[in-house]
Each structure stands twice: as structure tokens, then as C-alpha cells.
Amino acid sequence: MKIVVAVVVFLLVAPSIYGQASLTITSEPNAIVSIDEIRRGVTDASGKLTLTKVSAGRHSVRVRANGFKETTAALLPGRRALAVKLVTTTDPAELKFQEAESSSRERAAELYREAIKLRPAFPAAQVGLARALMSLNEFKEAHAAIEAARRTRPAYAEASAVEGRIYREEAFDDDALRSFRRSIREAGGVQPEAYVGMAKVLEDKGQFAEAIVEYKKALAQLSDSEPVIYQMLGAAYERVEKPKEAVVAYEKYLELAPTGSYAAAIRSILDQLKREAAGEQIVP
């Protein structure tokens, strides 16, 4: 009898220890929260953010808010709440960087450069600059910013992911794939931006089945925080003529983003996809 009770208790407790459970972060209002270098959301007006799916184990939590010094805290296994106290900052480089993060791309590039001038060893600002320059189609300068970031931080998963995106924009698919794979290695396998980037390159090559695999890896790591990837996954399933799987992906997008930019288009094709899917079996 004791063994049975112990098993029941283990099964009730195990999901929070070995699987996924919710986590509440408390900090300043409108603070950006990243876990293991993956952005997971923004705190509300009361300074709280509740994440419904956080895997078991030790994690690194980074919190950034305008006017405050960025802070990183350790999330120990089993903890379901974490308070991260931020300290106000007067560091001009940090303040320029924060302003850049919420500015238009042209203004952002200028502000990132100002931050870097104030603090030359500022890899996060270099990567931010690379993103802004990429959006402006200034690819040579964007690559230079990535190289500068690596001089300070040689193994930088985000920098490699952005580098992959730049190469893809330049239509250098093989170079893009190498950068995305490097990013995944540097992140120890947890780098959803790189997985999505790989999926998009594979789609460019017409390899939609392989792209689906990468989209699924990204979704498993993002825990539904980026619904647009479900739209991408659904479109890829359409290309391999798997309408049932496409319906599931599109409906998940609508569940997470009912007023999203793709919502109207998805609703317009769902009925047709469901008719096509009638009688078919979904492949896990």
C-alpha cells in the first residue's frame, strides 16, 4: 500500500520536477524577461509575468527595463517564483542601448553606434546594430558588427543566429546554414531563432519536410510565445500536402493570436483545408 501511495505522489509531483510547470517573475513594470537567452515576455503594469511552461532544471533569467541596469539571476530547480530587483542606472551607454531597442530601425542604428562609442566592448549593442543594419539592407556593415561582437564574446549564439539571417538575406544559403548550426552549438542546442532560420533556408531550397522538423524544434523551445511560427509550420504542411497537420498548426496560431496579422487569412482557408483533410490521419 505504501508503494502505491508513493507512486501516486511521485506522479503528481513529477510534472513540476521533471517536466514543465508555471513560473512567475516579479520585477519592474514593462520589463523584458529572457530565460536562457530566449525572450519570453514582458512584465505587466504590476511588474509580474507568469509563464505557463518552463522546463525543469537550472535556468538563467535576464531582466531588462528602461532606466535600469540589466540583471541576470539564477533560477534554481523546483522554484516557481522569482523576484528580480533592478537598480536604476545612469550609465550613458546602457541608456543609449535601451533607447535603441525601442526605436525605428534608422534611429536604432544611430543609437546603437552611440552606445558602442561610449562602451566599445558592448557585444549586445553590436548585435542590435547588426539587426538594424540587416533591416536596412546594409549587409557588409551588419557582418562587421557581428565580427565586432565576437571579438568581445567569441561564443555568442545570438550573434551567430543573426549572422545566419544576414547570409540568408544575401541568398548565401550554405553560409546561412553553417551560421545557424554554429548558433545551435554555442547555445547547447537551445536556440529557437536559429532553428527557425534553418527552416526558412530549407524552404528556400524546397526541402519542406526538413523545414517542418526545424520549426517543431523551435516551437518546443519557445513554449507558445511566438504564435507566428505556427503559421509558418502550417504553410509548410500545406506544401507537403498534409492538410490535417496544417489545420492543427493554424488553429493553434488562432488560439494564441486570434487578432494576429495572419488570423483573417488563416480563417479564410481553414474550411477548405478541413474538407481536404477529411478521412486522412494526422502523422505525429
DSSP symbols for 114-181: HHHHH-S--HHHHHHHHHHHHHTT-HHHHHHHHHHHHHH-SS-HHHHHHHHHHHHHTT-HHHHHHHHH
Helix (H, G, I), strand (E, B) or coil at 52: strand
pLDDT tens column, 125-157: 999 999 999 999 999 999 999 999 999 999 999
Distances (CA, A) of 234 to 78, 92, 93, 194, 246: 35, 44, 42, 19, 4
Residue with cell 517573475: 25
- Residues 67-77: b if buried by 16+ CB within 10 A, e if exposed: ebebbebebee
pLDDT tens column, 1-53: 444 444 333 333 434 334 567 889 999 999 988 887 778 888 999 999 988 77
Domains and CATH numbers, the chain: 13-83 (2.60.40.10), 224-284 (1.20.58)
**Cell, residue 86:** 533592478
What is the pLDDT confidence band of residue 175, given thresholds at 50, 70 and 90?
very high
Q: CA 29, 43, 125 angle in degrees (round to 5)?
A: 85
What is the pLDDT confidence band of residue 54, given thresholds at 50, 70 and 90?
confident
Average pLDDT, the chain: 88
228 CB burial (10 A radius; 0-12, 13-18, 19+)? middle
Radius of gyration for the chain, computed over Cα atoms and rounded to the nearest angstrom: 21
Distances (CA, A) of 75 to 23, 58, 70, 251: 10, 6, 16, 33
The answer, as to whether pTM is greater than 0.85, is: no
**Cell, residue 60:** 538563467
Spatial distance between the Cα atoms of 54 and 124, rounded to a whole number of angstroms: 25
Distances (CA, A) of 232 to 91, 100, 120, 131: 40, 29, 38, 21
Backbone angles phi and psi of 86, in degrees to 5: -100, 150
**Cell, residue 218:** 523551435
